[in-house]
Amino acid sequence: MSSTEPTELRHTALDALHRSLGATMTDFAGWDMPLRYGSERDEHLAVRTKAGLFDLSHMGEITVTGPQAAALLNHALVGNIASVGVGRARYTMICQADGGILDDLIVYRLAETEYMVVANASNAQVVLDALTKRAEGFDAEVRDDRDAYALIAVQGPESPGILKSLTDADLDGLKYYAGLPGTVAGVPALIARTGYTGEDGFELFVKPEHAVQLWQALTEAGEGVGLVPCGLSCRDTLRLEAGMPLYGHELTTALTPFDAGLGRVVKFEKEGDFVGREALAEAASRAEQNPPRVLVGLIAEGRRVPRAGYPVVAGGAVIGEVTSGAPSPTLGKPIAIAYVDAAHAAPGTEGVGVDIRGSHEPYQVVALPFYKRQK
Amino acid sequence: MSNPQQLRYSKEHEWLSAADENGVATVGITEFAANALGDVVYAQLPEVGDTVTAGETCGELESTKSVSDLYSPVTGEIVAANQDVVDDPSLVNSAPFEGGWLFKVRVTEEPADLLSADEYTAQNAG
């Protein structure tokens, strides 16, 4: 079907490798990305029990440097970025002046005055533009580094062992949400203990010209322990089981972090003004007085799968909306994340269903996440 | 992947066996369609006694990422639905032309535009 493919799709440094592995490719945010190599269910279970290898080169890296890099990020984002130690990472958000979420981000502090902001592929340009605009008046530089990095993730319980065989870096000393520069399989890399699967794992930021060498070394190192290449399809079911929000589904410009149940990422106590402060303060007090819809987990009793946008119902009335849904390979049942009215949000609430193309299928309300790894 | 020569195919990726002496043909989806869907996790099949119409929906197949309507390639009466597939929808992926068949239909009318294996293969090669 190559004749109908739009020519402007971007390809990662690993594109030829994916094709040689027989990947089914998909257009994701303008990138031609692997959806799956074989069975997405097998890939999912490999990450839960052994290890999986992901190409995440579509993610958007933006470098912020300069004497006022910390001050700029504190102004531009809702988190307290100045308090992040060198070598650590933080989950945060960038909001509009009206408090609406522009994107969720991970910010790594690489040095005293150097940060790497990682945006979702679909929002990378929006985030870059916003940061560039918000940098006016600050002694800091915002640099588009999307082409400077390939990103490879190795996730799953076997991932520390796999990586240890390829690097001298102190992985035991590397905490969750931290990153350190090192060499992996002879390739310079920023080694981060982060991920989006609910498992222990690492994300390796490398130069695109080193991506193939690194991928192959990881593949060989993981051969004996069940490492498999994994596509975006299982990445989505993994993050769904782990209860992690996805931009465009659980997070949108129509919601503030308080509406999304993530008000904790907004740090009003930090120094200086930040974009959205006033609107977010209002959103916080509104949420306190009049609880907004709550993000909950739903587990099917039957086998029909809820999809984003399907109404959640109780007593014949619509009480919410599904934001993400899929069959859960770990639970063996369909699951969903949904925003529901606070009155129906308590785990165990009776009589909740999802309208699946006209039929009200019974669902159990549970607290998120669906899956938590044993440490 | 190869599409069995003895079957005929709809543009919507169903396959149809030759009718037996009672005029009953077996219907499934092709390996091409099964691969495109990904892991099938739920199959809603027509029920015995249902009348199905060529080109119209008669069920649905749900996979990890999507739900797809199931079309009947012919008009007729359903005489069997594959309970094995209802119990284990992954059969559609693992054996689309064999154990993963979907239903049997007593054919009363079939459209003229069903494809041969070679024509169907050509349709999906472009």
Across the interface, of B36, B42, B93, the residue whose CB is closest to A305 is: B42
Q: How is residue B16 written in tokens? A: 């149809």
Same domain, A236 and A156: yes
Whether residue A35 lies within 8 A of chain B, CB to CB, comes out as yes
Closest Cα in chain A, distance from residue B84 (Å): 15
How far B81 CA sits from the closest chain A CA (Å)? Answer: 18
Q: Around A363, how many Cα atoms within 13 Å sit in the side-chain half-sphere?
A: 38
Per-residue pLDDT band for A8 (boundaries 50, 70, 90) equals confident
CB of B116 within 8 Å of a chain A CB? The answer is no
> For residues A91 and A112, is the Cβ–Cβ distance under 8 A?
no
What is the architecture, at CATH level 2, of domain B7-109?
Beta Barrel (2.40)
Answer yes or no: do A238 and A297 share one domain: no
User: Secondary structure of B5-72 in the HEC alphabet?
Assistant: CCCEECCCCEEECCCCCCCEEEEEECHHHHHHHCCEEEEECCCCCCEECECCEEEEEEECCCEEEEEE
Q: Do B41 and A233 touch (CB under 8 A)?
A: no
pLDDT higher than 80, residue A7: no
Q: Is residue A191 part of a domain?
A: yes
Q: At A344, which amino acid appears?
A: H
| CA-closest candidate to residue A150, choices A13, A271, A48 | A13
Reference A367, options A347, A341, A349, A352; nearest CA is: A347
Q: Rounded to a whole number, what is the distance in Å from the CA of A225 to chain B's nearest CA?
A: 24
**Contact: A327, B42; criterion CB under 8 Å:** yes
Sequence-distant (6+) residues with CB within 8 A of B66 are B37, B38
Q: Whole-structure pTM over 0.95, yes or no?
A: no
- Residues 6+ positions from A19 with CB-CB distance below 8 Å: A25
- pLDDT band of B1, cuts 50, 70, 90: low
Label residue A366 by pLDDT band (50, 70, 90): very high
Instruction: Name the closest residue on chain B to residue A328, using Cα atoms.
Output: B64
> Could you tell me if A236 and A168 lie in one domain?
yes
B93: which chain A residues are within 8 Å (Cβ-Cβ)? 39
Q: Give the pLDDT confidence score for residue B125 in this predicted structure.
A: 79
| Predicted ipTM > 0.85 | no
pLDDT value of position A6: 53
Q: How confident is the model at residue A2, as a pLDDT? A: 42
Alpha-carbon torsion angle A175, A176, A182, A187, nearest 10: 150
Q: How far is CA B39 from CA A84, A196, A308, A310, B6, in A?
A: 42, 22, 19, 21, 26
The conformation of residue A215, written as its DSSP 8-state character, comes to H
Question: Could you tell me if residue A127 is inside a domain?
Answer: no
Count how many pairs of residues, chain A against chain B, have C-beta atoms within 8 Å: 42
Are the beta carbons of B38 and A305 separated by less than 8 Å?
no
The average pLDDT across A275-287 equals 97
Distance CA B49, CA B46 (A): 9
Output the pLDDT for position A269: 95
Mean pLDDT, to the nearest integer, of A299-324?
96
Note every long-range contact of B27-30, with CB atoms under 8 Å and residues 24 or more positions apart, other chains counting: B27/B72, B27/B73, B27/B74, B27/B101, B27/B102, B27/B103, B27/B104, B27/B105, B28/B92, B28/B96, B28/B97, B28/B100, B28/B101, B28/B102, B29/B61, B29/B70, B29/B92, B29/B96, B29/B100, B29/B102, B30/B3, B30/B96, B30/B97, B30/B120
Q: Using the beta-carbon criterion (under 8 Å), do B35 and A24 form an inter-chain contact?
A: yes
Measured CA to CA, the distance from residue A212 to residue B94 in angstroms comes to 31
A109 Cβ under 8 Å from any chain B Cβ: no
Q: Could you tell me if A36 lies within 8 Å of chain B, comparing CB atoms?
A: yes
Residue A152 phi/psi, 5-degree rounding, is -120, 130
pLDDT the model gives residue A82: 96
Tell me the residues of chain A between 182 and 221 that have a Cβ less than 8 Å away from chain B: none
Q: Distance between CA A323 and CA A293 in Å, rounded?
A: 12
Report chain B residues whose CB lies below 8 A from the CB of A307: 67
Tell me the C-alpha distance between A101 and A233, whole Å. Answer: 24
Domain boundaries, chain B: 7-109
Calculate mean pLDDT across residues B87-114: 96
Which of A24, A40, A304 lies at the smallest CB-CB distance from B42? Answer: A304
Single-letter amino acid code for the residue at A321: E
Chain B partners within 8 Å of A236 (Cβ): 65
Residue window 297-316, chain A: list those with CB within 8 Å of chain B. 303-305, 307
Tell me the nearest-neighbour CA distance from B109 into chain A, angstroms.
Answer: 30
Last residue in a domain, options A178, A210, A242: A242
E strand segments, A212-347: 227-230, 294-300, 311-314, 317-328, 333-340
Q: Give chain B's radius of gyration (CA, Å).
A: 13
Q: Are residues A162 and A43 in the same domain?
A: yes
| Cβ <8 Å between A326 and B64 | yes
Annotated binding residues of A for substrate = 203
Kindly determine whether residue B126 and residue A1, on different chains, have CB atoms separated by under 8 Å. Answer: yes
Per-residue confidence (pLDDT) for residue B66, from 0 to 100: 85
From its phi and psi, is residue B42 left (phi > 0), alpha (psi between -120 and 50) or beta?
Answer: beta
Q: Are A94 and A262 in contact (CB under 8 A)?
A: no
Over residues A335-349, the mean pLDDT reads 97
Q: What is the CATH number of the domain that holds A333?
A: 2.40.30.110
Q: Within a domain: residue A263?
A: no
B126, A3: Cβ pair inside 8 Å? Answer: yes
Query: Which residues constitute the domain of residue A27?
Result: 14-57+149-242
> In chain A, which among 328-347 make CB contacts under 8 A with chain B?
334
For residue A36, the chain B residue with the least C-alpha distance is: B38
Q: What is the pLDDT of residues A170-217, one digit of tens each?
A: 999 999 999 999 999 999 999 999 999 999 999 999 999 999 999 999
Among the ranges given (A1-10, A155-164, A354-363, A366-375), the one the predictor scored with the smallest mean pLDDT: A1-10
Does residue A182 sit within a domain? yes
Per residue in A226-249, pLDDT (tens digit) is 999 999 999 999 999 999 999 999
Q: Is residue A115 part of a domain?
A: no
Is the CB of residue B61 less than 8 Å from the CB of residue B40? yes
Q: Is residue A135 part of a domain?
A: no
Task: Judge whether A222 is closer than 8 Å to chain B, CB to CB.
Answer: no
C-alpha A183 chain-centroid distance: 25
Residues of chain B contacting residue A357, judged by C-beta atoms under 8 Å apart = 67
**A324 lies within 8 A of chain B by CB:** no
Average pLDDT of the segment spanning A25-30: 95
Residue A103 lies in a domain: no
Question: Would A237 be classed as within a structural domain?
Answer: yes
Average pLDDT over residues A329-345: 96
What integer best gives the mean pLDDT of chain B?
Answer: 94
Residues listed for chain B = 126
The structural domain count of chain A equals 2
